[in-house]
Amino acid sequence: MEFWILGPIEVTDGGRSLAIGGPKPRAALAALLLEANRIVSVEGLVDAIWGEQPPPSARNALQTYVSRLRRVLGTDTLCRHPAGYRLVADPDMIDAHRFERLLAEGRAALAAGNPSVGHRAVEEALALWRGPALLDVTDVPFAQSEIARLGELRLVAAETRVEAMLALGDVTGGVAAARALVADHPLRERGVAHLMLALYRDGRQSEALTTYHEARRLLVDEFGLDPGDDLAALAQAILRQDPELLTTPSAPSTVSPTGPTASPTVSPTGPTASPTAGPAGAPPSAVPATAPPSAGPVTPAPARSRLVLPLDRFVGRDRELDEVRRLLQTYRLVTLTGPGGSGKTRLAREVCRRLPQPVQVIELAGLHDAGLLEATVAQAFGLAVLSGLDAVAATVGDAEVLLLLDNCEHLTGTLADVVLRLLTDLPGLRVLATSQRPLGVKGERRFPVPPLPVDPTAVELFLDRAGAVAPDWTCDPEDHEVVARICARLDGLPLAVELAAAQVAVLSPAQILDRLGRSLAFTSTRPDLPDRHRSLDRTIDNSYRLLDDAQRDLFARLSVFAGTFDLDAAEVVAGAGADVLAPLTGLVTGSLVASTPAGAAPRRYRLLEILREYADRLLDPADRDRLRHRHLDWALGLARAADQGLRGPDALRWYRTLGAEQANTRAALAFALAADQPLAGMRLATDLSWYWYHRGHLREGVRWLRETIDAAAGAPPVDRARALTALASLLYLAGQLEESGAANRAALDLALTTDDPAPVARAYVYQAYHLAMRGRIAEAAVAGENGVRHARRSGVDWLLSEALSTNGYLARARGDLETAAATLDEAIRVGTRIGYRWSVSSSHWFRAKVAADAGAADDAYRAALTATRGLDDLEDVTGWLAALHLLAGTLGMTGRAADGAVLLGAVAGIGGRAGYSPELMDPYDSPREVAAVVSALSPTEYARARALGETMDRVAVRAFVDQLADPPLPPS
């Protein structure tokens, strides 16, 4: 039995065509054939036949189609499986598999110098085609990528056939075959190159050049692009009638579309040695050394090596190109460092392409015998195998030359000595190296190659590479967002982005993203890629093998960190008390751990997500669990210290620390819940709540607190009381006043059962505020007094400052403005004494409201401005927005309503993005503040000023507030 998909779908048995049914059964058969010998699920077949919106009867209809196919093909060929169906077929039973096998055999024969065998194989491969691939299902989405892939291979086969003809000397046939290719694909440069070469060999130079100019015109008209460098070089060679264009090489695979290369091709050990060099592979000692030239005039520098560039487009990196070129003007040794796959080689070669001086290239990835390094360098400069570097110095002399040393990391020790000697002996030499670690030579300037910015550069790279494998795919806005998420998940690492983009041939961006959520393991089948770049794992493997035991152990342990980390955290979590500085230094210099810019203090480190996943797989389950528990304990200690530090003079540092550790604290919370550690999770969430409160992370904080409180039902009352009070505070800020009140009542009931006055005080303070918001002033006053009494008992000054501030607000609510002012002034004094700037600013906020009640508009404005600036200095979000809203109202009260409208717009814009509204949080005073602004302006004036504010970010608002005039102080 044979299956045919290179044309209409057909099944034959002994030469007889079998009846396989109409369009739907043919689509089912095509889907099974494309996954031959693999199980295809029922859902997969339904999607293949009907797409994303199958009819309700799809499953029943599919069963009917498959049953008919099984009767025709036999149950041994089309097997039922619990997970779906599987079509069993030897590869050669399917014409597409035979085609690919024959094409590979033909190309291999050409590469081996046997064009007649290659020609026969390719002709046999092309004869299998009976029309466009999968002709019956060309409109079915699942088949599009395979149709495109097979169509591309058909073109490759046709081009290979032309190469074989030219290698056999069949110029006439080559011209005809190449002309047919160009007629169908006039913009395909490889086909154009074949036709130009064939015409030239047929003695038709003018036609060959006309072909080039026609292709160039089409490229310019259609895309605004010039032909590639190879095509232009071939035209120049034809124009000067290069005699090598008429040579038929014995191994056509070495002939590029531009014909044989005049300059030597650089291999991993340099250009091919001269015939006098001795037996292939002999070490330098086995070959007579070439005597160095005698003293005399300096020998001119050798010709520029052939700089091999990839055929795909170079994307982005404008800043890096400029910076590396600038460094090369100042320093004689520049090393591009970065993890495998970061684009070091591509960037270095692009830099070399754009420089005017001669470039010598040495690809070191394939050189593993350090003893051959000097010979390799000599060969790169066009010399025979030498016993030392003296002949290189004599040959190059004082000439200005750039040496590109590519992929140096496995030879850095020996290479450092060689590079130092070269730079010492050759005053005109500059060296550009690519390596995962610096060479360690005095005067070396390291340039870490950064990941690509996600949008637009990494996205542009993804789209470019995806277009190469799926030319019919278009990226709509929804896909664009998914692609950006893919690139962010891959940290903008160029190799990872390219490997993911190649999957567009068979997967949608959404499917790629889904698979990335489970694994980062993508593999490329491109034959032109070196083995180390066929998959991310292979790339990282090469880097991992260069580490010593201590570095490998630390690398695996650092995977427990979900984001960045500092040295102290690494020592506590990954080092378990051991010194980690030395192995961490090796990981940083080896590009497996990235560090923050040198100006940041303290320095922080991170593993790219790709490296973190690889490192995590190195841990056994017991070690991983032990490290995550240690990570949770570390996060608990950090949050406990921060909860206190946020209420002292060092608050801003603690805000920034928790911001930097946000990914780690989230990971610790998730682990606590997953590892049945709910009490630890609840304590961690409680201690983080004050950070969430001030940074506006309300939804996140409420979610974590609710989940951990629910999970820790049996926790000690004091812990549950603290957690419920924290939840109440966040719900209050979110405008969910009823839920906030219920959580705080539960917190107070629990706190009163304990001997600790601090949680009792906090619960009373929030209860007082909640009762006042509901108009129950007398009850609120009692709660507030209880809060102050318990706060004084606790001896915690920050808590006393908060309690006094709330009592001042309550006195104001009762209409006792004199008591309110005195109480708030005491709160400010206590807060100032301990450096609790948030409480001080909040008390100024209340003080402004008291002044507004008393009709002292200037005093209200002064206090609101003080509160706003104080909270801005803390980089607070929610309190700052509330103060800004009040400041807007006081501007209206003091005759500057237009400025107030701008600030109301800013509060709406920034608050909307943060998920926080002062008007929901403070329904009592907010209407008065808005009215003070709106009433003083016409609707048009108000709308214009508010719209201006809505466009502002925080930096713009800060500048706007800074230019506001300070009101005159009252007379003493």
What integer pLDDT is reported at residue 282 of this predicted model? Answer: 29
CB 279 within 8 A of CB 286: yes
Give 439's DSSP letter.
Answer: -
pLDDT at 789 over 80: yes
Q: Residue 768 and residue 778: Cα distance in Å, rounded?
A: 10
pLDDT at 800 over 90: yes
What integer pLDDT is reported at residue 338 of this predicted model? Answer: 87
Task: Give the Å distances, CA to CA, from 594 to 449, 587, 588.
Answer: 11, 8, 6
pLDDT per residue as tens digits for the range 313-348: 888 888 999 999 999 999 999 999 988 888 888 899
Q: Quick one: CA torsion of 485, 490, 492, 493, rounded to 10 degrees? A: -160
What integer pLDDT is reported at residue 395 of this predicted model? Answer: 72
pLDDT per residue as tens digits for the range 187-224: 788 889 999 999 999 888 888 888 988 888 887 776 56
| Residue 301 banded pLDDT, cuts 50, 70, 90 | very low
Q: 231 Cβ partners below 8 Å, 6+ apart?
A: 189, 192, 193, 196, 212, 215, 257, 258
Q: Which amino acid is at 252?
A: P
Q: 475 Cβ partners below 8 Å, 6+ apart?
A: 463, 466, 483, 509
pLDDT at 527 over 80: no
Q: 781 Cβ partners below 8 Å, 6+ apart?
A: 768, 810, 814
Find the mean pLDDT for residues 892-906: 94
Where b means 16+ CB within 10 Å and e means fewer, 230-267 reads bbebbbebbeeebeebeeeeeebbebbbbbbeeebebb
Where would I find the beta strands (DSSP E) of 512-591?
Answer: 565-566
What integer pLDDT is reported at residue 225 of this predicted model? Answer: 61
What integer pLDDT is reported at residue 667 of this predicted model? Answer: 93
pLDDT at 273 over 70: no
| CB hemisphere CA count around 440 (13 angstroms) | 16
pLDDT at 707 over 80: yes
Find the mean pLDDT for residues 881-894: 94
Q: What is the 3-state secondary structure (H, E, C) of 48-112?
A: HHHCCCCCCCHHHHHHHHHHHHHHHHCCCCEEEECCEEEECCCHHHEHHHHHHHHHHHHHHHHHC
Find the mean pLDDT for residues 232-255: 67
Q: What percent of the chain has pLDDT over 90?
A: 42
From edge to edge, which strands make up the β-sheet containing 445-448? 359-363, 401-406, 429-434, 333-337, 445-448
| Residue 296 banded pLDDT, cuts 50, 70, 90 | very low
| Residue 787 banded pLDDT, cuts 50, 70, 90 | very high
Distance of CA 189 to the CA centre of its chain: 33
Ramachandran class of 342: left when φ > 0, alpha when ψ lies in -120 to 50, beta otherwise: alpha
| Residue 576 banded pLDDT, cuts 50, 70, 90 | low
Q: Residue 556 and residue 400: Cα distance in Å, rounded?
A: 45
Preceding peptide of 918 cis, ω within 30°:
no
* Six token digits for residue 863: 């206090």
| Higher-scoring residue by pLDDT: 478, 103 | 103
What integer pLDDT is reported at residue 687 of this predicted model? Answer: 96
* Six token digits for residue 494: 């160029």
Q: Which amino acid is at 937?
A: L
The DSSP bridge pattern shows strands 445-448 and 359-363 to be: unpaired
What integer pLDDT is reported at residue 411 of this predicted model? Answer: 82
What integer pLDDT is reported at residue 492 of this predicted model? Answer: 87
pLDDT per residue as tens digits for the range 18-49: 988 888 898 999 999 998 998 888 888 888 88
> Which of 65-69, 132-136, 266-270 bottoms out in mean pLDDT, i.e. has the lowest?
266-270
* Secondary structure percentages of the chain, helix, strand, coil, to 5: 65, 5, 30
What integer pLDDT is reported at residue 454 of this predicted model? Answer: 86
pLDDT at 267 over 80: no
C-alpha closest to that of 717 among 677, 676, 681, 746:
746
| Residue 524 banded pLDDT, cuts 50, 70, 90 | low
Find the mean pLDDT for residues 748-764: 93
CB 513 within 8 A of CB 489: yes
What integer pLDDT is reported at residue 292 of this predicted model? Answer: 31
The DSSP bridge pattern shows strands 604-606 and 445-448 to be: unpaired
pLDDT per residue as tens digits for the range 154-197: 988 999 999 999 999 899 999 999 999 888 888 788 889 999 99
pLDDT per residue as tens digits for the range 486-500: 888 888 888 888 888
| Higher-scoring residue by pLDDT: 38, 575 | 38
pLDDT per residue as tens digits for the range 281-295: 322 222 222 233 333
CB neighbourhood size of 652 (10 A): 15
What integer pLDDT is reported at residue 254 of this predicted model? Answer: 30
> Which of 149-153, 309-313, 622-626 bottoms out in mean pLDDT, i.e. has the lowest?
309-313
CB 880 within 8 A of CB 868: yes
Q: Residue 22 and residue 519: Cα distance in Å, rounded?
A: 39
The most confident of 16-25, 245-254, 600-609, 831-840, by mean pLDDT: 831-840
| CB hemisphere CA count around 655 (13 angstroms) | 22
What integer pLDDT is reported at residue 666 of this predicted model? Answer: 93
Give 202's DSSP letter.
Answer: T
Give 456's DSSP letter.
Answer: I
* Six token digits for residue 232: 């232009």
Give 807's DSSP letter.
Answer: H
Cite the DSSP H helix spans in 646-756: 651-660, 662-674, 678-695, 698-711, 717-733, 737-751
The SS3 of residue 432 is strand
Q: What percent of the chain has pLDDT over 70?
A: 89
| Residue 786 banded pLDDT, cuts 50, 70, 90 | very high
pLDDT at 11 over 60: yes
From edge to edge, which strands make up the β-sheet containing 604-606? 565-566, 604-606, 594-595
| Higher-scoring residue by pLDDT: 464, 599 | 464
| Residue 907 banded pLDDT, cuts 50, 70, 90 | very high
Find the mean pLDDT for residues 259-268: 30
The SS3 of residue 604 is strand
* Six token digits for residue 614: 């690889």
Calculate the average pLDDT of the chain: 84
Cα angle, residue 473 at apex, residues 467 and 476 outer, rounded to 5°: 110
What integer pLDDT is reported at residue 598 of this predicted model? Answer: 56
Q: Which amino acid is at 467?
A: G
Find the mean pLDDT for residues 228-241: 81
Q: Residue 273 and residue 280: Cα distance in Å, rounded?
A: 9
pLDDT per residue as tens digits for the range 649-687: 999 899 999 998 999 999 999 999 999 899 999 999 999
Max distance between CA atoms of the chain, in angstroms, equals 112
